[in-house]
Amino acid sequence: MGFRIEGKVALVTGGGRDIGRACCLELAANGADVVVNYHSSSESALETVAEIEALGRRAVAVRADVTKPDNILALKEAAVDFGAGRVDILVNNAGGIIRRALLADLDPELLAETLRLNFTSVVLLCQAIVPVMAEHGGGKVINISSVAGHNGGAPTTPHYGPAKAAVSNFARTLTKEFGGSNIQVNSVAPGIIDNRFHEDHTPPEMFEKLVSGVPLARAGTNEDVAGAVAFLASPNADYISGDVIHVNGGLYFGQ
Ligand SMILES: NC(=O)c1ccc[n+]([C@@H]2O[C@H](COP(=O)([O-])OP(=O)(O)OC[C@H]3O[C@@H](n4cnc5c(N)ncnc54)[C@H](OP(=O)(O)O)[C@@H]3O)[C@@H](O)[C@H]2O)c1
């Protein structure tokens, strides 16, 4: 609590579970009304909506596959309708590894699919929502990048780390075009967050090894990431744009 975003309208992609869900709840706890986008997590998206309403804010769950341009346009329409014309905060959270692959196993379709999910979706969502923000005096875009976008990730993520690097870089490009419209575009780069992302893609012994390199001596939580997102969504961050907040427990400074 404590960030002043009362009455702002937020759209969070992949808001039905883990980091996205924590972002929805943190933004609502700080006063925002929230459009909870989901793809497959319908049940937990509806639970998220109920939790937001219990906080006294408005919310709606909207299904959309962010890898599909027509779904993105429909999501925009639903969000603008919910916000009575406004969307003030866009959190581009949907993303993932899809599956691990060493370079020799990286087929063109996995590469294309990973870029569509982690990067193209961010570009198309910004294309849809940023003009709405500009019409209403400004807004905040927060992209969920990754430590992998900065340190190259694991040998098994040659498709994912570079896609996340593009996300952080894109925030800088948009800053140059839309800074004069009072739109701040930043990234949050999580490190090792203990959630389904690793349950799905990281064997337990690999996960333990990754966490053992974290100076703060624990994996991150979904809420650790959501706190940085709420800060960037607030007026406290009005003079920060094109930047990255690393939420990784000091991983950069480990061995
Ligand atoms: N966990 C980590 O350690 C870590 C570290 C660095 C960065 N990240 C990034 O953090 C973000 C959130 O991931 P997470 O950690 O919360 O893991 P997660 O539990 O795997 O969540 C992935 C999210 O992406 C959504 N999603 C996937 N494909 C989608 C599609 N085609 N259309 C719409 N939504 C889609 C999922 O929605 P549904 O469930 O509704 O399908 C889900 O909400 C991702 O961008 C990820 O790359 C995570």
Query: What does the mean pLDDT of the chain come to?
Result: 97
- Alpha helix stretches (DSSP H) within 55-120: 69-82, 108-115
Percent of the chain having pLDDT more than 90? 97
pLDDT of residue 253 exceeding 90: no
pLDDT in tens, 135-178: 999 999 999 999 999 999 999 999 999 999 999 999 999 999 99
Please name the residues in contact with 138: beta carbons below 8 A apart, sequence gap of 6 or more. 88, 181, 182, 183, 184
Cα(112)–Cα(251) distance, integer angstroms: 29
Nearest atom, ligand 1, residue 219 CA: 3
The helix-helix angle for 121-135 and 69-82 (nearest 10°) equals: 30
pLDDT in tens, 29-71: 999 999 999 999 999 999 999 999 999 999 999 999 999 999 9
* Residue 38 alpha carbon to ligand 1 centre in Å: 10
Indicate if ligand 1 lies below 6 Å from the C-beta of 66.
yes
pLDDT in tens, 184-214: 999 999 999 999 999 999 999 999 999 999 9
Cβ atoms of 216 and 42 within 8 Å: the answer is no
pLDDT of residue 13 exceeding 70: yes
Domain ranges, ordered by start, for the chain: 9-250
CATH T-level assignment (fold) for domain 9-250: Rossmann fold (3.40.50)
Indicate if ligand 1 lies below 6 Å from the C-beta of 170.
no
**Using 50, 70 and 90 to split pLDDT, how confident is the model at 252?**
confident
Indicate if ligand 1 lies below 6 Å from the C-beta of 21.
no
Indicate if ligand 1 lies below 6 Å from the C-beta of 192.
yes
**Residue carrying the six token digits 């009455």:** 7
pTM for this prediction: 0.98
Q: Work out the angle at residue 91's Cα, subtended by the Cα atoms of residues 233 and 8, and round it to the nearest 5 degrees.
A: 45
Amino acid identity, residue 81? D
Q: Which of 69, 79, 114 is nearest to 95 (CA)?
A: 114
Q: What is the pLDDT of residue 255?
A: 62
Q: How many CB atoms lie within 10 A of CB 52?
A: 24
Indicate if ligand 1 lies below 6 Å from the C-beta of 220.
no
The mean per-residue pLDDT over the stretch 216-229 comes to 98
Cα(49)–Cα(28) distance, integer angstroms: 10
Q: What is the pLDDT of residue 1?
A: 60
Pocket test for ligand 1, best of 11, 12, 17, 92 (most atoms within 8 A of CB): 17
Nearest atom, ligand 1, residue 96 CA: 47
Q: Work out the angle at residue 117's Cα, subtended by the Cα atoms of residues 133 and 27, and round it to the nearest 5 degrees.
A: 45
Q: What is the pLDDT of residue 254?
A: 74
- Give the active site residues: 160
